[in-house]
Copies of this chain bind each other. A is one copy, B any other.
Amino acid sequence: MAWQNNVLRINLTSGVCSSEALNRDWAQAYLGQRGLGSKYLSEEVDPRVDPLSPENKLIIATGPLTATTAPTGGRSSAVTKGALTGAIAASNTGGMFGAELKMAGYDLLIIEGRAEQPVYLWIRDDKVQIRPADKLWGRSVWETEPWLRRELQEPQAKIASIGRAGEVGVKFACIVNDMDRAFGRSGVGAVMGSKHLKAIAVRGTRGVVVDDPRAFRAAVASTMAVLQPSPVRRRFTSRGTHNMMDVTNQFGSLPTRNCRDVQFEGVESINADAVRIPRRSDGKPSLQGNKACFACPIGCGRVATIDPASSLVNGEDPQGGDRGRYKLPSGGLEYETAFAFGPMCGVDDLDAINYVNFLCNEQGMDPISLGVSIAAAMELFEEGAITPAQTGGLDLRFGNAGALTRAAELSACGEGIGADIGLGAARLCAKYGRPELSMTVKGQEFPGYDPRALKGMGLAYATSNRGCCHMRARPLLHDFANVTTAGKAELVKTTQDLAGAIDSSGICMFTNVMFSPEHLAQMLDAACEGHWDLERMHEVGERIWNLERQFNLAAGFTRADDCLPVRTTTEPAVGGAGDGEVADITQMLTEYYSLRGWSQDGVPLAATLQRLGL
């Protein structure tokens, strides 16, 4: 058990909603969530389809531990062919939505086709409706969630929806759930928007049955016993991921001004200490507290406010709405958000960064991609490739906080220069004739780890199946200890496989630095049919990795796409541990392919596929 053994299939073209039994062989081979969703996608979608066509599907997948008492067991994934990348996408969210979907009785929700008119889904256990969303279209996430709860007279409904960005086809639009959690990366929100699906509301009242409740309780207890006192857990709770900013800055791996620099002189204004400094206007700090996702004892999420004296919450609202909404406490800065709008854009204005972060939640945009795309636009502007006429007079220079906030507003609704920024950095830079200024891999923008100092992360970026990503492999600890490429290929391979299993289980990747994967294996073994141990987790993870690779190869990706931006491979870093270094993955990549059992073209060998049952 642990799985609900039930798949909900919605065809938006025909309007048919049906449920079917889960393929239990696939569940045994791919676990759940990212793995199982990818298996269904691979079986049902031609990798060559246009991601925004009705032929693409959007799969919301839970894991076997989702909605159980496993610590952090509230995760779900959106699996589709990514609008931003054209590669297979699996975007992982927290919050409450995924657990609610599981408790409604479903492992997977498969959305097919395209509705004629905007619609939303209302799932209440086994009652499922496709309803018109014409009153919602054009509204933000922050309007959609309360509107739907009122409309459905169900205050307990959990909602995932797109904002303006997903409607207007921003390539990096995300799906936001629970107001400020998100299926964030690769443009899964654009896919949802292309299907004219505004929102999914769910209320689930069923339980989840685990295979051996007594063993499961014991496994959870022993995991909690390690997690609760873990020093890393304590730091995540007290400081959040934002804590990383001082580390990357000192190490010289904080991407700054579109990767011109690797250290940012303004970190002290925007780091995890800065959000604690009382403001002059009201004596309160930006940081208001923390919050946790379903079943999570960590609570790395932040809650923040903007200075009530700031024009950002008092001025005229270009969206035509009430700016008062920005005065309320809302999801605060994570490291990636802070990096993308701060150092990457050269901006050290904490209120501006908080505001743009709010805007991302409100209108459904991936903050990493938005920030890095604005940074690319800033460099294009400084280089003269984008003219003041094209920006409508906006002085789009690095460090201009006002330009950052305006560019973000324009991006959210696809207006003016924002329409081009909404293409993502790769298409933007290509359009303006300077493709080398795009800090992307496979069309997806850089997270906050410069690969010149962090060698393993460079390989992780280059080989990530969903485009540039810091969560698909975990070489960071070793990277911080050693500026070398030695041993990194094996580390990246191993942690990619492990991440595949964690991302398919229903629990959060961050636990990986707080308790050992044996704990997860024990919980899976108690919850699921079959014998689960660490070895099998690695095998499942490796199978998922190869399945995703197969999808991408069929979609047209080649070894040439396993690369890093030319700036990082030719312009040496200045300062920090990687001073004078460039990123060079050539040798690591050769070794990595070999370890993976792939040809030097990056194609899985027949023996590898056979070994993994692919």
Contact = CB atoms under 8 A, between A and B. Distances in A.
Interface string A451-480: 000000000000000000000000000101
B251 A579 contact: no
Contact of A577 (B229, B234, B246): B229
A375 to B, nearest CB: 23
Contact of A226 (B229, B234, B246, B577): B577
A222 B251 CA distance: 12
Contact of A482 (B234, B519, B577): B519
A276 to B, nearest CB: 16
B482 A228 contact: no
A570 to B, nearest CB: 20
A516 interface: yes
A225 B578 CA distance: 7
Interface string A220-249: 001001101111001000000000001100
A576 interface: yes
A105 interface: no
Contacts of A482: 226, 515-516, 518-519
A577 B480 contact: no
A160 interface: no
Q: Which of A234, A252, A481, A576 has the most CB of B within 10 A?
A: A481
Contact of A225 (B247, B478, B483, B519): B483
A486 to B, nearest CB: 7
A250 interface: yes
A311 interface: no
A514 interface: yes
A579 B218 CA distance: 13
B222 A247 contact: no
Contacts of A514: 481
Contact of A252 (B229, B478, B481): B229
A242 to B, nearest CB: 14
A484 interface: yes
Interface string A194-238: 000000000000000000000000000010011011110010000
B228 A515 contact: no
Interface in A471-519: 478, 480-484, 486, 514-516, 518-519
Interface string A513-529: 01110110000000000
Contact of A228 (B250, B481, B519): B250
A246 B228 CA distance: 13
Q: Which of A478, A482, A486, A514 has the most CB of B within 10 A?
A: A482
Nearest to A515: B481
B516 A230 contact: no
B234 A250 contact: yes
Contacts of A234: 246-247, 250
A515 B481 CA distance: 4
Contact of A486 (B225, B478, B518): B518
Interface in A521-548: none
A564 B391 CA distance: 72
Interface string A575-597: 01111000000000000000000
Contacts of A250: 228-229, 231, 234
B222 A483 contact: yes
Contacts of A576: 225, 229
A492 to B, nearest CB: 16
A480 B231 contact: yes
B577 A225 contact: yes
A227 to B, nearest CB: 9
A526 to B, nearest CB: 15
A576 B230 CA distance: 10
A568 B466 CA distance: 50
A482 B484 CA distance: 29
Contacts of A518: 482, 484, 486
A577 B227 CA distance: 8
B578 A480 contact: no
A516 B229 contact: no
A433 to B, nearest CB: 37
Contact of A516 (B228, B251, B481, B519): B481
A578 B221 CA distance: 11
Contacts of A222: 483
A174 B241 CA distance: 43
Given A234-B250, A478-B516, 18 more contacts: A222-B483, A225-B483, A225-B576, A225-B578, A225-B579, A226-B482, A226-B577, A228-B577, A229-B247, A229-B251, A229-B480, A229-B576, A230-B480, A231-B246, A231-B250, A481-B514, A482-B515, A482-B519
26 contacts: A222-B483, A225-B576, A226-B480, A226-B481, A226-B482, A226-B483, A226-B577, A228-B250, A228-B577, A229-B251, A229-B252, A229-B480, A229-B577, A230-B251, A231-B246, A231-B247, A231-B250, A231-B480, A234-B246, A234-B247, A234-B250, A481-B514, A481-B515, A482-B516, A482-B519, A484-B518
8 closest residue pairs by CB, A with B: A229-B250, A229-B251, A225-B577, A482-B516, A481-B516, A231-B247, A226-B577, A481-B515
Interface of A: 222, 225-226, 228-231, 234, 246-247, 250-252, 478, 480-484, 486, 514-516, 518-519, 576-579
